Structure formats: structure tokens, C-alpha cells
Amino acid sequence: MAVRTYRVEGMTCATCVKRVEKALAGVPGVDSVQVNLATEEAVVRSRGVADGALAAALTARGYRLLPPQAPDPHDGNVRRAGYRVAAAWVLTLPLMAGMVPGLHWHLPWPVQAALAALAALGAGSGFFLRAARQALVLETSMDTLIALGASVTLGFGIHEGLRGAPHPPFETAAGLVAFLLTGKYLEARAKHRATHSLGDLLRLAPATSLRLEPDGSEQTVATSEIRPGDRVRVKPGSAVPVDGVVLEGRAEVEEALLTGEPLPVAKGPGDPVLAGALVHGGALELRAAAAGQDTWLAKLAQQVAQAQGSRAPAQELADKVSAVFVPTVLGLAALTLAGWWWHAGTLALAWRPAVTLLVIACPCALGLATPVAMAAALGTAARNGLLVRDAAAMEALARITDLALDKTGTLTQGHPALVAVTGPDRVAVTGSDRDLVLRLAAALERDSEHPVARGIRAAAEGLPRAAVADFRSYPALGVEGRVEGRDLRLGNAEFLGLPLPDPEMGMAVGLAEGGRLLGALVLADPQRPEAKSAVAALAAQGLRLHLLSGDRPEAAAALAAELGIQNVQGGCTPAGKQARIRELQAQGAVVAFVGDGVNDGPALAQADAGISLPGLDAAQAAAPLNLLREGLEPLLQARRLALRTRRVIRENLAWAFGYNLVLVPLAAFNLLDRFGGPMLAGAAMGLSSLTVVLNALRLRD
């Protein structure tokens, strides 16, 4: 059994995934097929099937099969889509000039027909090609609807031009294609960014490593050359390139972006470290345990891709009914033609009600209902600091029942900050006593980039600065030096040999002179100032709130109790967060997840609406909704915009379907002929599309 991975070009939605799987599975010898929309890859298990046979099966359905090492087609595809949008609007705008009040400029109808044909059949040729291929295998989609609407309207315009009508509706055919191509282009750009950004997960690990040779020398090599068992040195301030075990050295390793633990973790001989973690305070010598695609970080990226591929985006209502809508319209048009031919006895009188019905039923408003509303919503979202990578997630955000939140960096600020200074008796000190302890500690931490040091220095802003002499650092333990003539040590209880407070949340470091404790500095990851009000606002919407954190269970429980979140789970691994969301979805819940770290990647991808907070590109890679402004207020704005967008889309679809339900029967019984027949149908179709567009533009407010 051979297992091969291919890249598939041309997929745009979950329906495409099903068609690709069906086409490949239908090739004799193929045992199973798994298609991932996020990575645009197909994994094929087969017995002796040639690549040419698989490629031919997809070509017949309008897709391309490429080897995995082929150049990435996304850049060229997005660029060509942009050219098509530009060409469509250049050809369409002259046709719309006559609609501007006071501008009496009308091109001869043959020129209008040529411009409309170039816009519809040239720039919009993809709609027609895909519709034709689907028709060959007896399938329909929105492409079928678009091709039918544009071609019938174009044909009707040519007929009206030959009859000498003053305003043939060519702008309708061209404008329909221009609007739809714009929507497709925006979708292609968003998907392009989302697909490429998955690589940001792997880029957290450095591309090069310091490998220790048998003779003790160091050699800089590509990380891809590291093999299990190799000895690797990681300098302070650098990221760990591989998964491994510490052989020598002591340091504190910052793993907040990987595990959710907000405070650095002390590492020494025998302790495991993960690729992508940051080393502070000392150098580490590691024995590589896994490198490349076998690291925990790489497997995390694979989890993200799998979750994105397994999530089935909600299909638009128009897509769901298209398979029934098109055959129904064609059948009604044929019955109308046959009925009036039989009734009138001549084809010359029978074609008008049939053409009127086709033009009335052309799905211009239906085709525009969702993409125009979504395009307006995307612009508003961008202005409000929300990047939408997946329209289905935006739709899901409006109908969620459960909202799960990460702790570190989401409900909290994601970095240690000073919360208290205590004296030797463990009682909080204030005033000059507090300032003295804080000023001396900040002097010792003056040149350190350790997260705890940054927190101490931030708290000491505004206090007089002191110089330090005879400075020495002891990785993962503490520091010492002479400040203002006093020999001081700053560090943990083990380093000082003195008892320190054990706070429920956070950590404590002590400042000692000789064997006497001057004071202890308690640091914790403080909650965001707006967290309580934001949580209350979300709960008021009837959402069930959950806190899923990789931090200690007691720390997660304490924060949940303070914010009023009933459902809490601490000590979660990335897979554990993802599993909890799957469990809620299995119970029928529609789940949104909000997070900011790499450890949130699988949960962000698994959720119906994954929302990342700003800070880390790799977390945004996994989330279809990216908040670009700090704080939780943008989350509330995103939810409000999603609800408005859903309401506008429903209004548009209701109008589009209602328009057809009312006018199609009138056209079939030829009750519109006295008002102009096909001419009225063309005007009504244009008015319907205009109504949908104007309603969608309300989302720009």
C-alpha cells in the first residue's frame, strides 16, 4: 500500500473537498483519500495507481493535482485573481455611467455588448468553465447559478439591443461578475495568508544550531542537520532549536508561548526542554531527542493543520439550495415555453414569458447576497482591528453557544508584574520601606532581560537609579552584587537559604543582605483591567463561559472564581484543550475559543470560531479570526459585528428568495408581459441586486 501526498489547486470550500475526495476515490486502485483544505493537500492510499490517472480524475472536475515539491501556486493565483477583478471593473464602469444622475452618456449597444461579454465571459470565464465541467458530471453549484444569470442577462441584452431598446441591461451581466470576482479575490487573499502562516509555528525554532563536535569544538549548522543524540549548546537569550534533555548548565526557560505557563521554569541537568522555548540567565548544553518534523513544535503544527482540515465550514444557504434551484428554474422555464407554445400555437409568442421567467429567476441577488455583505463586513472588521481569515468562522461567531478562553495572555497580561512587597515578617510594606527594597532589587536586575527582571524594573520606574558593582549571576537561582556599599543577593529561597512567601498565584523572590532578609517581591501574572467587565458582558449574552489553561489548576481556579467563570480546567495540554472543545461540539455546542499562545493552536483551529489575540504570528496562523488591537474590547466588537453580519445576510437572502417566489409565478403566467415582459424582468433583477448591495453597505457603519 503506497501513501502519497499531493497538492491540489483550485479548492475554495468544503464542497470542493468533497468533490476532490470523490474524484480521487473513484480511481480504480485507490483505497482511501484524505483532503485538507487548510494545507491544500491530499493524502492518497493506493495500490499501484499512476499519478497521471489521479491528475486526470481531478482535471475533469476542474482542479489540478501537483506533486508536493511543486512551487507554491498561491502567489500566482491571487495575483491573477486581482487582475481579473481589475479587468472586470474597467469593463463594467463605462456601462454603469448612464446610471449616474445628470450624466447623459450612453455607448452604442454593440459596444456595450462587447464590454459586457468581455467582463462576463473573459474576466468571469472561471465561473463558466467550472459550471460546464460540473454539468458534464450532472452537478450544480453557485458557479452554475452565476453562469446562468450572466449568460441569460447578456443574451437578453443583445436581443433588446437588436430590437432597438434604449437601455439594454448589459451593466447587470457585467456588474454581477465584477461583484462576485471581488468577493472571490478577498476570500483568496485571506486563505493565502492563513495557509502561509502555518509555517510561523515552525519558525519559532531557530534555523541554525550550535552543535558540539566530539573534540569539544562548536560548529554552526542548519537545525535540519541535527540528529537525535547530537550535543547542542543554547546561549542565553536564544531559542531552543530541538527537543532535548539538559546535560550541563542551569537556566530559566520561558515556555509561556508553548505551554501557557506564564513564569519561567528552572532547568538543569536531566530536565527536558522543547524546541521554540527561550533561554534566560545561562547557557544550556543539550542532548537532542527529536529534531525537525519530530519535535513537539512540529507535531503541534501538524495538529493545527489537521484540525483546520477536519473542521467543516458552514455552507451558505444559497449553496445548499443551488442543486435544487437551477434544475427547478430550468424546468419551470421549459414548462412555461411548452405551455404557452401549446396555448398560443406559435413559438414567437411563447418565448417571451419563458425568457421573462429565466431573467426574473436569474440568481443575481442570490449570488450577491452573501459575498457583498461579507465584503462590507470584512472592511468594517479591519477598521475595528479584526482580521477575518475564514468567513465561515465569522458566521459561526454569531451563533456560538459556548465561549472558551485561555488564561495566560488572554484574561491576564501574559508577563510577571509586581503585586506586593513584603518585609521579613511577611507583612506587606509600603512607603519608603517598599521603595528601598524595590530600588535595590531593580539595581541588581538592571541589565537582565529575564521576564522577572523586567517586571521588577517596570515597578521601579520613577525611583532613583542605583549602580551595581561586582555583579554575578547564578542561572535559575539568582544574582548578587554591591549596591550603595551593601553586599546584596536577589533570588529564590534555595539561593538565599531563607524562607520566602508561597503565594497562591505567582512567585516570590527575596532580597537579602548577608543572612538577613530585607524583603520579598511577589510577582504574578495580573489579569487584564477589562477582563471582569468583558466576561460579564459575554455572560449577559447567554453564553456559557469556560476557562481552559495550561497554568497550574489552582491558579486557573482562583482567576475563574474572581471573574465569575463557572467552568474551569487547569493544567491543560494543547491536545487537552482541543479535546475539551471536541467534547463540547459533540454535545451540540457551537464553540468559540480565544487564545494567544502556540499551545492554543489546536484549540483555535478546532473551534467553530477560533479567535487569537495580538502578539504572536504563530497563534494567528491557527485562528481564522485575528484580533489586531490589545485588550478584550475588540472581542466584544467582533461578536457584535458577527451578529450584525448574520442579520444582514439573512435579510439579503430573504429578499432574494422572496423576489423570486413572488415574481416567478407572475412571469410563468405571463402577467408581466403587459408591463414590458423581459424588459421589466431585467429592471426588476437590477433593482433586486441594488437592494441587496445597499442593505449590505449598512455594515460599513
CATH T-level fold of 417-454+480-524 = Calcium-transporting ATPase, cytoplasmic domain N (3.40.1110)
pLDDT in tens, 231-261: 999 998 888 999 999 999 999 888 766 665 6
Confidence of residue 274 (pLDDT cuts 50, 70, 90): confident
Q: Tell me the mean pLDDT in the region 73-95.
A: 81
Q: What are the CA-CA distances from residue 395 to residues 75, 306, 314, 488, 559 (Å)?
A: 27, 21, 8, 58, 30
Q: Which of 15-29, 270-284, 401-415, 532-546 has the highest mean pLDDT?
A: 532-546
User: Which residue out of 406, 525, 551, 608 is catalytically annotated?
Assistant: 406
pLDDT in tens, 597-637: 667 888 988 999 989 887 555 455 567 788 877 788 889 98
Reply yes or no on whether the pLDDT at 533 is more than 70.
yes
Which residues does 418 contact at the CB level (< 8 Å), separation at least 6? 438, 455, 456, 458, 459, 521, 522, 523
pLDDT in tens, 162-203: 888 777 778 777 877 887 787 667 656 655 554 554 555 566
The percent of residues in the chain predicted with pLDDT above 90, rounded, is 24
- Look at residue 391 in the predicted model and tell me its pLDDT: 73
d(CA 26, CA 297): 36
- Look at residue 315 in the predicted model and tell me its pLDDT: 38
d(CA 210, CA 295): 17
The answer to whether the CB of 463 falls within 8 A of the CB of 438 is yes
Find where cell 487569537 sits.
612
Closest C-alpha to 35, from 310, 381, 333, 353: 310
The answer to whether the CB of 682 falls within 8 A of the CB of 171 is no
47 by Cβ neighbours in 10 Å (0-12 / 13-18 / 19+) ranks as exposed
Helix (H, G, I), strand (E, B) or coil at 240: coil
Task: Tell me the angle at which helices 109-117 and 142-162 cross, rounded to the nearest 10 degrees.
Answer: 170
- Look at residue 560 in the predicted model and tell me its pLDDT: 92
pLDDT in tens, 345-386: 766 567 667 766 766 776 666 666 776 777 778 777 766 777
d(CA 489, CA 541): 51
Confidence of residue 207 (pLDDT cuts 50, 70, 90): confident
- Look at residue 284 in the predicted model and tell me its pLDDT: 93
Reply yes or no on whether the pLDDT at 678 is more than 70.
no
Reply yes or no on whether the pLDDT at 309 is more than 50.
no
Find where cell 526557560 sits.
253
The grid coordinates of residue 249 equal: 548548565
Of 61-65, 467-471, 557-561, the range with the lowest mean pLDDT is 61-65
Whether 673 is catalytic: no
Reply yes or no on whether the pLDDT at 521 is more than 80.
yes
d(CA 212, CA 144): 62
Q: Tell me the mean pLDDT in the region 90-102.
A: 76
What residues does each domain of the chain span? 2-71, 76-197+313-368+677-691, 208-294, 374-412+528-644, 417-454+480-524
Number of other residues whose CB lies within 10 A of the CB of residue 77: 15
Q: How confident is the prediction for the chain on average, in pLDDT?
A: 81
The grid coordinates of residue 188 equal: 483568496
Of 167-176, 193-202, 212-221, 513-522, the range with the lowest mean pLDDT is 193-202
Confidence of residue 48 (pLDDT cuts 50, 70, 90): confident
CATH T-level fold of 374-412+528-644 = Rossmann fold (3.40.50)
For the four alpha carbons of 532, 534, 536 and 539, in that order, the dihedral sign comes to negative
Q: In what order do the strands lie in the sheet with 402-405?
A: 386-388, 625-627, 609-612, 591-595, 402-405, 544-548, 567-569
Q: Tell me the mean pLDDT in the region 382-411.
A: 84
Report phi then psi at 10, rounded to 5.
115, -5
The grid coordinates of residue 5 equal: 501526498
CATH code for the domain defined by 2-71: 3.30.70.100
d(CA 270, CA 268): 6
Which residues does 374 contact at the CB level (< 8 Å), separation at least 6? 183, 186, 391, 394, 645, 649
User: Options 3.50.50.60, 2.40.10.340, 2.70.150.10, 3.40.720.10; which CATH number does 208-294 get?
Assistant: 2.70.150.10
- Look at residue 436 in the predicted model and tell me its pLDDT: 92
- Look at residue 135 in the predicted model and tell me its pLDDT: 81
Give the CB-side neighbour count of residue 510, counting CA atoms within 13 A: 23
- Look at residue 20 in the predicted model and tell me its pLDDT: 86
